[in-house]
Structure 1
Amino acid sequence: MSSHGIKDKVAIVAMSCTPFREHWDKGVDDLLIDAAQGVLATAGMAKDDVDAFWLGTASSGMSGLTLSQPLKLTGKPVTRVENYCATGSEALRQAAYAVASGAYDRAMAIGVEKVKDSGYQGLNAAPASHDGTRRNLTAAAMYSLVLPAYAARYGVDEDELRMVVARIAEKNHRNGALNPLAQFRREMPAEKICEMAAVAGRLSVFDCAGVADGAAAAIVVPAEDAHRYCDNPLYIKSLSFVSGTGGGLIDPDYDYTTFPECQMAGEDAYRQAGIDDPRSSLAMAEVHDCFTPTELVLMEDLGFCERGTAWKEVLAGTFERTGDLPVNPDGGLKAFGHPVGASGLRMHYECWLQLRGQAGPDRQIELSSRRNHGLVHNLGGYPGEMVSFVSILAPELG
């Protein structure tokens, strides 16, 4: 990879997150104002103290005016970015690199999406091209192909594997039930999920991420200035982003049991952060569980377990909130909801709470001096045609 990284050069000194909901009583402006006011109050800043802004949104605005108008920003640079479902993380990545470059001392990354009352049930897939090389299936259909492929490759009974991914949904709903900001706050047994009617392949609606409105924000500053604003900042150890070629759609050898872009982004992030063994270094991970089979594959692509063993680790409880490596302790996309422009920053917000010991008595994971790093993973697109983001954060320098 070409990136030299910005390890320990930039710190997150404040974060905020709105509830992810069907916000029938709030518009884009309201959500942005709520997130911005929350993060500014946490940092002890006024909006004029922020030098530059990066706004992530996929469909709720087309320029920096989407943010500068409701916040009444005067003479400030506001950059609107979009990178599929990794849009919120892309806003943070660009704000962090701007601060690391020395161009700005204080930058805000903020993400928002408002789709519930727009006339769409979710974000529409891009139209298929006319040359026959692009997929024309729904996202749920594309990710449903993972289950039979994984079962065939690793010799797992398909009915057992169906229960495994339902266990993933059960875990994330159990975590979301404890989270006051999550969209879905009821537990859902895996057996009930398996009994539901299929919407694509063998996936039911409860194998799919929720569609929600929401916003989240972060303020980043040079690491040496962090304690001017915060007693316990988070330091960025790595930021990696990989765009695929889309070749999986026409590659006869691509078998849907791995997402190469995610593996490459993870390996690059570990290299930047100086991590040799993620399983022994990470206290937690927030991963992009847009569909339950996605989380299954990511456990292997991100190096949390060996190939062909993630299904066993799920059944063993490895990735539970109280397990050896908690994954999506806030409920993930599955229970928290997925307003595209905000999701990546929401994932960082959970690291912000957990790694600083502020998630609350019912939700706080176990931390130690040996395992105090958090990983955030986003992806956008579909198997064989994907972009992927991975960051690693920690509460200490070095």
Structure 2
Amino acid sequence: MASGIRDKVAILGMGCARFGERWDAEPDDLMLEAYQEALADAGVETAQLDAAWLSVAFDPLNVGPSGIPLSVALRLPNIPVTKVENYCASGTEAFRGAVYAVASGACDIALAMGVEKLKDTGYGGLPVRTRGTLADMAGVVGSAPGNFAQLASAYRARHGVDKGDLKRAMAHVSVKSHANGLKNDKAHLRKAIDIDTVLNAPMIAEPLGLYDCCGVSDGAACAIVTTPEIARALGKSDIVTVKALAIAASNGWELQGSGWDGSYFHTTRTAATRAYQEAGVSDPRRQLSLTEVHDCFSVTELVTMEDLFISKEGEAVRDVMDGVFDSDGALPCQIDGGLKCFGHPVGASGIRMIYENYLQLLGRAGSRQRATPPSLALSHNLGGAPNLNVSAISIVGLMGA
């Protein structure tokens, strides 16, 4: 394996716009909101940026294959700007571009921006229903809730989990996310709920009810990265560095062979293995302090804890119910509310996850701050469906950790 990028790149500054139904803001406004926070945090000027990456999954900017809107919105100094997309993992893809540019020596300071403006488009994530046609059936099977409901059923079948136990564990995930989002003033959804509310909610795709599904949001998130040496020269003392970045894309095996039973994410296991090797992590449950995972549905968070080798096979249900991943648990997950409640502006979500880990590492997360700041934090960003997807793992930590 190549030597990797461990501790070669530092996060100089980060910013995040408030997520939600931002009828008052255009994409440029959201990007500027996130950028101004990141720029002030980094302590640099726009003229010092060498390159930038823009992630947009559904192209609300309507610019096609171009990063020009980012350059215009931030008045960047005619530097290269690249637009990337990789389904819901687009944000991590932009971050990877900026990080690799610095690690390679091509740039001293680079920027990654993710943005999405979906509320104005009416995008809701569910297919349009017709009247009993073949297209109707394909739409149902091809919907995001439908696909991830199959993940839940396959997981339950593989591990012999009682249907009621799985449903209550998924409900615990959702209640936890709402409790955490309540403490986050940038979160889209800030309302506590209880187990009974989740269990009695309307069914979307059995066994996924209304509160098992995340919505979509408007929002933007931004990261400015450099080398640790430049960060020190700029006066940074507590430096957060990138320990590992790994992305794995499906190659058709899940769809074309008989080896996959639909109960887990093969790509997540592959990316996690690579990331842990790069970061020097041999026991993730013990060595990691915090996680942000792609909780597009409550069952996804639960299954992902096994795919990250944090929970043993078939034991994530018990770990969830035992509170291991609660904000005051041994290994908190979604301490900011996650996609479920912080929100899911698709192109920005991967960077938003890193943003929360960055704040926690520096002890700057306000009322949701862990009493003992973490030393090593992981984010997991997933795009696509269980049977065809891209999985991205980012591990960040304090320099020397």
TM-score (norm 2): 0.93
- Alpha-carbon RMSD across the aligned residues, in angstroms, is 2.0
Aligned to 1:255: 261
The answer to whether structure 1 residue 168 and structure 2 residue 173 are counterparts is yes
Q: How does 1:175-324 map to 2 (within 5 A)?
A: 175-229=180-234, 230-324=236-330
Mean Cα deviation higher: 247-256 or 81-90 = 247-256
Task: Give the Cα–Cα distance (whole angstroms) in 2 for the partners of residues 114 and 158 of structure 1.
Answer: 37
Residue identity matched to 1:13: L
Task: Give the Cα–Cα distance (whole angstroms) in 1 for the partners of residues 2 and 167 of structure 2.
Answer: 39
- Deviation for aligned residue 1:18: 0.7
Aligned to 1:386: 389
- Deviation for aligned residue 1:122: 4.3
Task: Give the Cα–Cα distance (whole angstroms) in 2 for the partners of residues 106 and 323 of structure 1.
Answer: 36
Task: Give the Cα–Cα distance (whole angstroms) in 2 for the partners of residues 256 and 80 of structure 1.
Answer: 32
Task: Give the Cα–Cα distance (whole angstroms) in 2 for the partners of residues 241 and 340 of structure 1.
Answer: 17
- Deviation for aligned residue 1:396: 2.0
CA contact (8 A) 1:299 1:310 kept: yes
Residue of 144, 148, 156 corresponding to 2:153:
148
Aligned to 1:60: 60
Q: Match of 2:94, SS?
A: helix
- Deviation for aligned residue 1:47: 1.1
1:201-228 per-residue CA deviation (whole Å, 9 max, x = no partner) reads 2211211112100001011001222123
Task: Give the Cα–Cα distance (whole angstroms) in 2 for the partners of residues 80 and 393 of structure 1.
Answer: 24
Q: Match of 1:39, SS?
A: helix
CA contact (8 A) 1:283 1:367 kept: no
- Deviation for aligned residue 1:72: 2.1
Q: Match of 2:120, SS?
A: coil
Residue identity matched to 1:48: A
Residue of 96, 106, 124 corresponding to 2:99:
96
Q: Match of 2:121, SS?
A: coil
- Deviation for aligned residue 1:379: 0.7
CA contact (8 A) 2:125 2:143 kept: no
Q: Match of 1:145, SS?
A: helix
Task: Give the Cα–Cα distance (whole angstroms) in 2 for the partners of residues 43 and 357 of structure 1.
Answer: 16
Aligned to 1:345: 351
Residue identity matched to 1:81: V
**Distance change (3 Å), C-alpha of 1:124 and 1:111:** farther
Task: Give the Cα–Cα distance (whole angstroms) in 2 for the partners of residues 380 and 374 of structure 1.
Answer: 20
Residue identity matched to 2:251: T
**Distance change (3 Å), C-alpha of 1:231 and 1:123:** farther
Q: How does 1:317-336 map to 2 (within 5 A)?
A: 317-336=323-342
Residue identity matched to 1:246: G
The answer to whether structure 1 residue 138 and structure 2 residue 143 are counterparts is yes
Residue identity matched to 1:6: I
Aligned to 2:13: 14
Task: Give the Cα–Cα distance (whole angstroms) in 1 for the partners of residues 48 and 156 of structure 2.
Answer: 54
CA contact (8 A) 2:175 2:195 kept: yes
The answer to whether structure 1 residue 31 and structure 2 residue 36 are counterparts is no
Residue identity matched to 1:84: Y
1:108-138 per-residue CA deviation (whole Å, 9 max, x = no partner) reads 111100010023224989xxxx9xx999510
- Deviation for aligned residue 1:231: 2.8
Q: Match of 1:117, SS?
A: helix
Task: Give the Cα–Cα distance (whole angstroms) in 2 for the partners of residues 89 and 251 of structure 1.
Answer: 29
Task: Give the Cα–Cα distance (whole angstroms) in 1 for the partners of residues 98 and 126 of structure 2.
Answer: 25
Residue identity matched to 2:188: Q
Task: Give the Cα–Cα distance (whole angstroms) in 2 for the partners of residues 152 and 53 of structure 1.
Answer: 45
1:2-57 per-residue CA deviation (whole Å, 9 max, x = no partner) reads 55310010000100001111000101111111111221111122211111111111
TM-score (norm 1): 0.93
Residue identity matched to 2:157: A
**Distance change (3 Å), C-alpha of 1:4 and 1:386:** farther
- Deviation for aligned residue 1:287: 0.4
Residue identity matched to 1:24: W
Task: Give the Cα–Cα distance (whole angstroms) in 2 for the partners of residues 123 and 246 of structure 1.
Answer: 25
CA contact (8 A) 1:147 1:162 kept: no
Mean Cα deviation higher: 39-48 or 336-345 = 39-48
CA contact (8 A) 2:17 2:31 kept: no
**Distance change (3 Å), C-alpha of 1:124 and 1:246:** farther
CA contact (8 A) 1:116 1:122 kept: no
CA contact (8 A) 1:246 1:386 kept: no
Task: Give the Cα–Cα distance (whole angstroms) in 1 for the partners of residues 97 and 2 of structure 2.
Answer: 13
**Distance change (3 Å), C-alpha of 1:397 and 1:317:** same
Residue identity matched to 2:105: G
- Deviation for aligned residue 1:280: 0.8
Query: Which runs of 5 or more residues in structure 2 are unaligned?
Result: 129-134
**Percent of matched pairs sharing the same residue:** 45
Query: Which runs of 5 or more residues in structure 1 are unaligned?
Result: none
Tell me the matched-pair count.
389
Aligned to 1:377: 380
**Distance change (3 Å), C-alpha of 1:163 and 1:136:** closer
